[in-house]
Amino acid sequence: MAKKSRNHKLHIAIVDDHEEIRALLSRYLREHGYRVTAAESAQQFRSILQQSVPDLVVLDIMMPGEDGLSLCRFLRETTTVPIILLTAVSTETDRIIGLEIGADDYLTKPFNARELLARVKAVLRRANSMPPKQQRTKSQRLRFGQWILDVGKRELINKVGLATPLSTAEFRLLMVLLDHPQMVLTRDQLLDLTVGRISDVFDRSVDNQISRLRKKVEVDPRNPELIKTHWGGGYLFTAEVEPA
């Protein structure tokens, strides 16, 4: 996401079917220097999106018609815009699904507008510090080293055709590494790119996931060649990635 000049206001889109929430958040964010566009439905927001892509979307999950999860999935497949989900207390499963399909953060209703502002600033700050994603064809099978990843099945296939299943966390982490080959990613960046910076996730969880993934992709996990530790706080994926 391109950084804006000092004179250019960052554009926040609010998609929520509750008029009071749209009005409150629009007023509050404008008071803090943002340009705001509000939509009462996914359909209305899709029309707005045809004109311009905002710098961040605040998106309610529970909406009539197309819901927020469907719109979130569409946005993640077609854009890199950061997304903050608004969730009800009773939609824990929806919150988890939202993070899995690419939302950057979430906020549970009812919430304080000041807290949302803090989340907006944090997500935008992280988005501007993210490394560029490698442009590659959307192949369902990716080759790296001696492995092929079947994206649809979430399986690793070795050179003799045997398949090894990946957990959801292992798959997310591997996809991030495949999107950023030959690039050092810090623990914070790996957290942000896989699950978002949420309060119950700690840096050590990244190390543990890396360790588990190494056991599946490395010839010798104790002396890794594909996923190298970068002393100073991060990891480097060394292999070239290409469609299989």
Residue 5 corresponds to which amino acid? Answer: S
Task: Identify which of 90, 83, 82 has the alpha carbon closest to the alpha carbon of residue 109.
Answer: 90
More confident residue, 219 or 187: 219
**Rounded Cα gap, residues 198 and 92, in angstroms:** 14
Say which CATH architecture domain 141-243 belongs to: Orthogonal Bundle (1.10)
pTM of the model: 0.59
pLDDT band at 1 (very low <50, low <70, confident <90, very high): very low
Confidence check: pLDDT of 188 > 50: yes
- The predicted-structure confidence for 201-225, as pLDDT tens digits, reads as follows 444 578 888 999 999 999 999 999 9
CATH for the stretch 11-129: 3.40.50.2300
CATH topology of 11-129 equal to that of 141-243? no
pLDDT at 26: 96
Q: What angle do CA 235, 140, 100 make, to 5 degrees?
A: 60
Per the CB < 8 A criterion, the answer to whether 165 and 172 are in contact is no
Confidence check: pLDDT of 44 > 80: yes
Distance of alpha carbon 39 from the chain centroid: 22
- Domain residue extents for the chain: 11-129, 141-243
| Mean of pLDDT over the chain | 85
- The predicted-structure confidence for 81-135, as pLDDT tens digits, reads as follows 899 999 876 666 766 777 777 788 888 888 899 999 999 998 888 777 666 666 5
